[in-house]
Each structure stands twice: as structure tokens, then as C-alpha cells.
Amino acid sequence: MRTDSFLEQQRACEVDVAPLRRGTWPREAPTNLRRPAFDGLTIGLHWATVLFVLAQFASAWLHTLAEVRQSDFTPVLLQIHRSIGLTIWGVTALRLAWRLTNASLPPFPTRMTKLQRATVNE
């Protein structure tokens, strides 16, 4: 296995960008070599988690504003915040269960070590 040293990484930054400026790409990868995607349920659960986390931040921010203004909505916003938190736990449990049972995962990159593959797989 080949690893790049720090000096080689610095030299990698010194690339001739003139062909790129002219619009010609020296090494274009064919489009059929694209890595396959995750299955639809995995992607859906991922984006659902993202939306719930954003809603969690929004509810916390609104709760803080309501407390400052001594609003009547403070208890409602706190309950919404807690409910979204429990929903995130539930979606995370679903994601883990799906991953361990039926998820269709793309193949690992060839540069991954056996230890990394075992950690991701388990």
C-alpha cells in the first residue's frame, strides 16, 4: 500500500492548470465508472434525519426567543423540541436496524484498509 508523505502532498498542489483554463480536461473519467448509490430507503432516512435536526435547531432558537419575550408559547415550543428529539432517536434506530439487516451499500474504495472495512461493516 502506498501512502503519500507530507512533501509529496505539497508537490501535488503544484499542478499545471493551463489545460483546465482552456476547457480541456487531461484525465476525464468515463461516466459509467460512477460509484453506485445507496438504496432509496437509506437515502430517505438520511435526509429525514437532516430535516429533523434542522427542525430541532429551529425549535430551540424559537424557544429561546419565546423565553426572552415571556411568551405563552414557551411550553409548547419546549414540547415540540422534545418530540423532535425523540423522533431523531427513532429515525436513528431505524437507520441502524436497516443498515444491519437489508441495506444495499456501495462497494468500498480499494484504498480502504481491512480494519476500516471491518469497522464500517460491523
Question: What would the pLDDT profile of 18-49 be if each residue is shown by its tens digit?
Answer: 554 555 444 444 445 566 678 889 899 999 99
In a domain, 83, yes or no: yes
For residue 91, pLDDT over 90 is answered with yes
CA dist., res. 15 & res. 30, Å (int)? 22
In a domain, 17, yes or no: no
Of 61, 67, 60, the C-alpha closest to 81 is 60
In a domain, 76, yes or no: yes
In a domain, 68, yes or no: yes
Number of domains forming the structure of the chain: 1
In a domain, 79, yes or no: yes
Helix axis angle, 40-68 to 74-101, nearest 10°: 160
Q: Domain span at residue 76?
A: 38-104
0.95 exceeded by pTM: no
Asked if 9 and 77 count as a contact pair (C-beta separation under 8 A), the reply is: no
Output phi, psi for 26, to 5 deg: -70, -35
In a domain, 61, yes or no: yes
